[in-house]
Structure 1
Amino acid sequence: MSELSQVLDEMIACGEGMIKAANALKDIFSSTEESPAKTEPAPTYTKENVRGVLAAKSAAGFKKEVKDLLEKFGAQQLKQIDPKDYAALLKEAEVIGNA
């Protein structure tokens, strides 16, 4: 029986060690620090979205600025703009007329 008692004591000691380790991990991961902010995926824009914004700017009297913006992106027409550049193009188009 003493051998069994010794094994049981060791199991209890191991269990207590596991409980301490689990509590320490719980304290680390449940601290009051803010978790990293979740980043939302960047919106995707279609040619129609961009065309609508640029058309509105042109209609508002900023046709030259829109043309200059297209040329800045290496194009004469919207269809020559790479779709991956739509977000940057729109960002720059937002400031047209807002100065």
Structure 2
Amino acid sequence: MRKCYATALVLISWYLMLPPPVFPPVQDASGNYKVNSTAPMSQWLKFKTLESEHACKAQLKKMEPFYKCVKSDDPALKASVPAPAAAGGPGTSTVSGAATSHMQ
């Protein structure tokens, strides 16, 4: 039983996360590209994978203030599932369905 528990602990890692860039790309006065730090965590980019929270926070001290350390099993990393399309709406699941709905 202990071996399974220890294995589970090893599988959890930490991510040094970077917010997605603003589109279209915009540079600030210092020439750095702006990032969307208000985007949901599921849209952030995994910059680096680290073995522990301590290692992640040590790396974080060297980074820009908008980076974050996030545990690999954090529920915020999962993308939210979009709501299904309303019944009777145009079909966009296939190219032919989308083309047909626009040709009416």
Please say whether Structure 1 and Structure 2 have the same fold, judged by a TM-score greater than 0.5: no
Please state which band the TM-score falls in when normalised by the shorter chain.
under 0.3
Q: Which structure has greater strand proportion?
A: 2
Rg: which structure is higher? 1
Q: TM-score, normalised by structure 2?
A: 0.24
Q: TM-score, normalised by structure 1?
A: 0.25
Higher RCO structure (Cα 8 Å, ≥6 apart): 2
